[in-house]
Structure 1
Amino acid sequence: MNYFFRSILLICLLFETLNFAHAQSTTIELSNNKVVVGGQTCFLHLVKEKQTLFSISRAYGVELSVILQVNHKTEVTVNVGEVLRIPVVDSKTAVAPMLVKKEDDQFIYHVIKKNDTFFSLSKKYDLSIDVLKKSNPNIGDVLSLGSVFMVPKGIKKEKKVIVQTHPKHDKKYYYHVIQKGDTESAIARKFFMKLRKFRKLNPQLKGKALTIGSWVRIPRYLVPPEYFVEKPVEKDTIVQEIEEDKLIVNEVVERPLSQQKIRIALFLPLYLEANDTINEIVTYKDTLRIVNERNTRTVFPKSHNFIRFYQGILLAVDSLQKEGLSVDLHVFDTERKPERVQRILSGIQYTDLDFIIGPVYSNTFSLVASFAQKRGIPIISPLSPKNSLLKTNPFVIQLNTSIESICGRISDYVGSDLEMKNLIVVHPDRYQHLSEYQLVKDIERQLFEKGEYWKNDEMSYRKISFEEYGLFGIERILSDTCENVILLPSTKQPYVENIISNLNVLSQRFAIRLMGFPVWKRYNSLESELFYNLNLSILTPYHIDYKEEKIENFVSSFRTKFKCEPNDFSFRGFDLCRYFTKAVSQYGNHFPDHLSELQIDLLQSHFDFKRVNAFGGLENQGVHFVNYSRDFKIRHHVPNFESK
């Protein structure tokens, strides 16, 4: 008996399942008739044959319990011909409607969900809004949640490609393309222009709003150089492979070593005795003298920089030995005593040396330079920018660039671009005897003897005495239509500080580029803000960029080895030792004639050695160009001067 009832129950369940599936497959046409009952908008749905409350609920995307509540039903039954109120639901009560098919040959059937808009559907299906509205004439302007939206197939949205062009940058102007968020004031501030001047240069903007893709012009002298660098075009794989093959074929083969062991003599005023003395604590017990060393050693002030220089050389020797070179370094403490140097020279007269570094003071350097000349040994003057023996001793190599050579490089740099420039020399009274006067002579040779002044109609050149005419006189000859390049031929600290402080007042109204000398950076009383305001540009033989990885590695190694911080002298000692040791290893004792062929990556130096005359030595004339820009960035590069 139990078996009989279980069989009957199983047949009934199977029958109900078949009826449910049949109901699910019944197509239900959604009503467009609406009525407002009690403030709630409802569809009026006429129940047809084979429709159930469950199928109607799924078709409209409304919970079954909501339909029962609105229509005051207690049972899940419905009669053919009965009119049901189906509420227009929100996202909380909406369920996915049941569709017989999601697409056919002509349409995709999309059920409207929360946040769907004509714009989002246009983006999703890549069709214009007009096409979507024409395919759904009954939808209206508002999309109803849960309604079915027909998306036509086989139609593609027309894409309009708008190509924005702007003039090519020229010698006068940079053409800035308007981007999102740009305003007239923002662009003027970005390029440090007065708003009135910006509008005067761009009269097309009068009474109009900025449009993305249009352009405005900015005076070229106000624009940082990186704005003119064209972005590299991405190349396809084939082209890149071909170029890589060329690089492999043209790879430079490293020159074989000419000499494995290098012998160096280093003469420095280390003041070792003085350092020992100041670190001694002397006490007496009865008549017995007791000497103890301080727990924390101090450095004799006069020897501080020279010890840092020596430490830089030691670090270079370590790196060279790791590369397979053998360096024999002889170190001598000269202090500042010629008689001490004479004793040292007597002791090394039979020692084979490849080159000598130092001494640093002229009274001791001359003795060692004479010794070096007699034996044909190159001798390097490491720190002084002025050496009287440079013009008469062919074995002298001066590492620091002289004031006269710096003046020549400034003249070359200024003379390389004279268009749209107002060139002004602000000089002290009676300055013709100064070394810096060479700058004025070089500039005027460029302008008048070589005829550059008459070739450029859009440049001017003036000289003015600050003592005689003051700040007011300078202001009267400044231009507000082009860049004012001011040359200050002086390294006298009080004079330079006075001029810079006064020019800073004018920097807010005029575009100024002040050309200066490396020693200015050591004037502690000058705040760095003044350099940026005046767009200071300096040509210097030494520059350290602490953002470079090689600098970080050097500083880290220095701290580890010596437990202190490196200074400029440390970098200079490292570069000097590494450069000339490499030169000897590649070219032997003829290395001074091949320095122009040497390519070595250095930390702070740029070496470009030139012989000063037929009978003299070599001077380094390589410089870095360092600019303290108005946007408070330091830019630097190595200028490429054409040989004169």
Structure 2
Amino acid sequence: MKLSQVAVMLLIILLPAAAMAQNGQEVVRSNVSETINGAEYYLHKVSRGETLSAISRAYHVSIADIRNSNYGISDGLQPGQIIKIPASPVPKSQQEAPASIRYHRVAAQETIYSLTRQYNVSEEALRKANDGLPGGLVAGAVIKIPLPETETAQPQEKPEKNYFEYQAKSNESVYPLALRYRVSVDSIFAYNPELGENLKSGQIIRIPKTPTLANFVTHRIQQNQSVNRLARKYEIDADAIRQINPYIARRLQEGQVIRIPLPVIKTEKEPAIDSIAMLELERLKHEAAIMPPEQSCHQMRMMGEYKVALLLPFDFPTVDSVLASPVSYIDDPNPRFIKPFAFIEYYEGFLMALDSLKKVGLNAEVFVYDAPNSVAATRKIIDNPELQQMDVIIGPVYSKSFEMMADFAREYQIPLVNPFSVREEVTVGNPYVFQVQPVYPDQAEVLTDYLNNHFPKAQIFITKHNEYRDQVGFEIIKRHFTEHLAPRPSGSALFHTFFYNRDSLRVFKRQAAENRNNVVVAYTTNKVYIMELLRALNQLRDQYNITLIGMPDWLAIDGLDMEYLNNLDVHYLAKAYVDMDDETDRKFARDFRQQYNAEPGEFAWSGYNTGIYFMSALMKYGSSFMPCIRYFDMELLNMGYNFEAYGDNGFRNKNWKIVRMRNYRLLDVSAPLPRYDFASPVKPWLKSEQ
């Protein structure tokens, strides 16, 4: 009697659970889509009450496909279990039965002959598929029926999808969703033509798998859209939109493209897949793409074995020169500015960086390629399959060869470093390119920040030799000053301009302040004009407090009067500056001299900086370091790296140094790079010799 009561109680307890299992709990599809061993899968975390049947319906795949993708899986799934759901048909070799076979249950009085007529197959094929049918046909038995050759299913490769599917939640909008996954709204609408702005609960939409590496996404203005309306749609602050678009007018124009900042938002992370060790790296890579960059980069600490390619021209009979002018570099397809063995010097500096990092744990293999100024030679390097395995590629140095390598890097998603070019177009349209040398338009931003921080009350002047020369760069600085220079005191103008061959110093004398600093920005490289300007301003130094700011080329001009330079508190913009009063610079020069019996030239410093920076990034963040590079604070030798990417373009180094003449000595007065608590700089060159 008691046993019957227990049975009844158990039945009452279990009936609701059984009903739940029969109905199937609503399955929430995973948004994590990864490629594993060449096949694409969704990574699904099992919730309580979910069954294989319910999961298969949610993902529109068969139970057999799920079983075949997860070795040892049973219908008794465990809550929290991570399973792989194929995003495309399971390969033929993994299916339970070949696609060229069907099954037939034998009915009474059926014969082999009747089956061959019914299914249009030969008797030989029928017997071969069933081990010869030695006992003949038996009623009720199940036999295999091969398909005719003309009907045999041909496996078709499904092209790899460049999107993943997302199941919308209640009250979700497409705009915040675009920010969460770092893509533009236009790209989401392109994959979902019938989609509206407001999503329905459970609606499946396609999200492109191309998150931007920049700190913004683009938005094309529609009719009657304003900054405030966009801010409400994207659920961000309107001032954040205005700050990242300093050039936009109050009234937006239809068709205009503006930037929408990617704010630091809390993203619901997918669970760690601790039970499937082989998927852990894939999870980290996915999180790095969709999490707020600060959070994901803070968590990533990857030590592994890395492969680095270094492509330099070692074919000296075809190389007459490398660098005669410190600003020319290797942008001409047939350069005439090369010193013999300069690339060897770059290589030597790079080897010193490699040696320093190996002492602190770097495990890397460096592949060195001879890459002369030859398209054919570059093609041969690209055709080498080992290049596809690289974690970062540095070089080649010649423009045509670099363009070919950039296409290769974009195809295989490998970071590519250009160490020498100063052309702005190097990074355009390719998010995998890093341009080490800062470009001239970025001088305006650095100069404006410096003036705002160090000369907030000064009277500012911009001058050049005449109205026609150097007009592009001159206008860039004027525009940046107009938009970003801090207001001057007492309502005075932001800045004044004059052309020396027309105005002499009349404008300066009329507008200069006697009780405040006067800063003159001279945008010129004309030696005769520079010498005349120095002389003329020096004559006024007893009447006015004057600071003169010159361009990078001034450091290379011989014959400038040192007394004038010192009296006028001259500042220079510079890409790089070796400070022999700095211990790290002195130690590098000393070590280079000891190892190679020569003084380190400009290329040696560059080789060391490039090597130490990018190989340190590999050590810190792994091969997926690109989203974290803007948070990587790496203290270098004679120059700084401050990489930023815009839209679908690559990374530009925006770091210009500012050097000041004081007491007849040059001092680096550049603003320090932004620092983050989790990005402590690595200084392997300061470590004691082992």
TM-score when normalising by structure 1 = 0.51
Q: Which residue of 2 aligns with 1:535?
A: 569
**Aligned position for 2:355:** 318
Equivalent residue number for residue 650 of structure 2: 617
2:580 is aligned to 546
One of 581, 591, 594 as aligned partner of 1:560: 594
- Mapped contact 2:430–2:649 kept (Cα < 8 A): yes
Kindly indicate whether the alpha-carbon contact (under 8 Å) linking 1:425 and 1:488 is maintained by their aligned counterparts in 2.
yes
- SS of residue matched to 1:404: helix
Tell me the equivalent position of 2:472: 434
Which of 303, 309, 322 matches 1:259?
303
Give 1:632's aligned residue: 664
Structure 1 equivalent of residue 155 of structure 2: none
* Counterpart AA for 2:440: I
1:27-60 Cα deviation digits (max 9, x unpaired): xxxxxxxxxxxxxxxxxxxxxxxxxxxxxxxxxx
Please give the alpha-carbon distance, in whole angstroms, between the structure 1 residues aligned to 2:340 and 2:424.
Answer: 21
Q: 1:602 to 1:475 in 2, by over 3 A?
A: same
| Aligned-partner Cα distance in 1 for 2:371–2:564 | 41
Aligned length: 362
Residue pair 1:394, 1:617 contacting (<8 A) in 2 also: yes
Confirm whether residue 579 of structure 1 aligns to residue 617 of structure 2.
no
The Cα shift of 1:471 comes to 4.1
Cα separation, partners in 2 of 1:524 and 1:335, compared to 1, 3 Å: farther
Larger-gyration structure (1/2): 1
User: 1:376 aligned to 2:420?
Assistant: no
1:524 corresponds to which letter in structure 2? Answer: D
Task: Identify which of 357, 381, 393 aligns with 2:430.
Answer: 393
Distance in 1 (CA, whole Å) between partners of 2:610 and 2:673 is 23
Is residue 336 of structure 2 the alignment partner of residue 327 of structure 1?
Answer: no
Which of the numbers 312, 316, 319 marks the counterpart of 1:268?
Answer: 312
Equivalent in the alignment of 2:396? 359
Check whether the contact 1:610–1:619 (CA below 8 A) recurs between aligned residues: yes
Shift of 1:369: 1.0
CA distance in 2, matches of 1:339, 1:436: 41
1:390–1:274 distance in 2 versus 1, CA, 3 Å = closer
Q: Map of 1:208-607 to 2, 5 A cutoff?
A: 258-273=302-317, 302-348=339-385, 350-416=387-453, 419-427=456-464, 428-431=466-469, 433-447=471-485, 452-453=486-487, 456-457=490-491, 461-471=495-505, 474-492=508-526, 495-507=529-541, 509-607=543-641
Cα distance, 1:420 vs structure 2: 3.8
Once the 2 structures are TM-superposed, how far is the Cα of residue 498 of structure 1 from its aligned partner? 4.5
Give distance in 2, aligned partners of 1:327 and 1:461. 52
Q: Distance in 2 between matches of 1:442 and 1:576?
A: 30
CA 1:398–1:441: 2 relative to 1, 3 Å:
same
Deviation of 1:642 after TM superposition, in Å, equals 8.7
Give distance in 2, aligned partners of 1:472 and 1:575.
45
Give the secondary-structure state (helix, strand or coil) at the position aligned to 2:604.
Answer: helix
Offset at 1:496?
4.1
What is the distance in 1 between the residues matched to 2:627 and 2:543?
51
Q: Supply the distance in 2 between the matched residues of 1:596 and 1:326 (Cα, whole angstroms).
A: 24
Q: 1:548 to 1:405 in 2, by over 3 A?
A: same
Instruction: Report the Cα offset of residue 301 of structure 1.
Output: 5.5
CA displacement at 1:538 relative to structure 2: 2.8
**Alpha-carbon spacing, 1:421–1:549, altered in 2? closer, same or farther (3 Å):** closer
- The CA distance in 2 between the partners of 1:494 and 1:393, in whole Å, is 41
CA distance change for structure 1 residues 436 and 600 in 2, over 3 Å: closer, same or farther?
same
Q: Residue deviations 1:427-478, cap 9 Å, x none?
A: 331257423421111111235xxxx446644676321111112245544543
User: How far off its partner does 1:268 sit?
Assistant: 2.1
Q: Conserved in 2, the CA contact under 8 Å of 1:255 and 1:586?
A: no
Q: Is the 8 A contact 2:534 2:564 kept in 1?
A: yes
SS in 1 for 2:373: coil
> Closer, same or farther in 2 for the Cα pair 1:396/1:274, shift >3 Å?
closer
Distance 1:557 1:432 in 2: 41
Give the deviation of 1:257 after TM superposition: 5.2
Tell me: CA distance 1:466–1:316, structure 2 relative to 1, closer, same or farther (3 Å): same
CA distance in 1, matches of 2:338, 2:575: 26
Q: Residues of 2 paired with 1:642 and 1:321: CA distance?
A: 27
Cα distance in 2 for residues equivalent to 1:494 and 1:259: 55
Between the aligned partners of 2:550 and 2:439, the Cα distance in structure 1 is: 14
Q: In 1, Cα distance between the equivalents of 2:299 and 2:599?
A: 35
- Residue type matched to 2:658 in 1? F
What CA deviation, in whole Å up to 9, does each residue of 1:367-395 have, x standing for no partner? 11111111111111112222413121100
Distance 2:422 2:319 in 1: 28
Residue 620 and residue 524 in structure 1: after superposition, are their counterparts in 2 closer, same or farther (change >3 A)?
A: same
Identify unmatched segments of 5+ residues in structure 1.
Answer: 1-253, 277-299
Quick one: which amino acid aligns to residue 615 of structure 2?
A: T
Q: Distance in 1 between the 2:494 and 2:648 partners?
A: 40
Q: Secondary structure at the match of 2:306?
A: strand
Kindly provide the amino acid, as one letter, of the partner of residue 263 in structure 1: K
Distance 1:375 1:525, change over 3 A: farther
After superposition, give the CA deviation of every residue in 1:383-415 in whole Å (9 maximum; x if it has no partner): 222241312110011111111111111022223
Q: Over residues 519-554 of structure 1, what are the superposed CA-to-partner deviations in whole Å (9 max), with x where a residue is unaligned?
A: 321223434444322211234342322122222221
**Other structure's SS at 2:365 match:** strand
**Which secondary structure state, in structure 1, belongs to the residue aligned with residue 624 of structure 2?**
helix
Residues 409 and 415 in structure 2, CA contact (< 8 A), matched pair in contact too:
yes
Structure 1 residues 307, 483: closer, same or farther in 2, change over 3 A? Answer: same
RMSD: 3.1
Give me the whole-angstrom Cα distance separating, in 1, the residues matched to 2:473 and 2:649. 20
Distance 1:494 1:385 in 2: 26
Q: Residues 425 and 462 of structure 1 are in contact (CA less than 8 Å); yes or no, is this contact kept in structure 2?
A: yes
1:503, distance to aligned residue in structure 2 (A)? 3.2
Is the contact made by 1:418 and 1:456 (CA closer than 8 Å) also made in structure 2? no
The structural deviation recorded for 1:555 is: 1.5
Q: Is the 8 A contact 2:458 2:519 kept in 1?
A: yes
Question: Judging changes above 3 Å, is the alpha-carbon distance between structure 1 residues 396 and 453 closer, same or farther for their aligned structure 2 residues?
Answer: same
| Mapped partners of 2:523, 2:307: distance in 1 | 42
Deviation at 1:273, TM superposition (A): 3.9
Could you say what secondary structure the match of 2:343 adopts? helix
Matches within 5 A, 1:57-76: none
Tell me which amino acid in the other structure corresponds to 2:579. D
Q: CA deviation at 1:311?
A: 1.1
Deviation, 1:490, is 3.2
Asked if 1 retains the 8 angstrom alpha-carbon contact of 2:455 and 2:517, the reply is no
Aligned partners of 2:518 and 2:546 also within 8 Å: yes
Q: 1:155-182: per-residue Cα shift (whole Å, max 9, x none)?
A: xxxxxxxxxxxxxxxxxxxxxxxxxxxx
Report the Cα offset of residue 364 of structure 1: 2.2
Residues 184-216 of structure 1: CA deviation (Å, up to 9, x unaligned):
xxxxxxxxxxxxxxxxxxxxxxxxxxxxxxxxx
Any conservation in 2 of the 1:420–1:458 contact (CA below 8 Å)?
no
2:510 and 2:398 mapped to 1: Cα distance?
46
Distance 1:498 1:335 in 2: 44
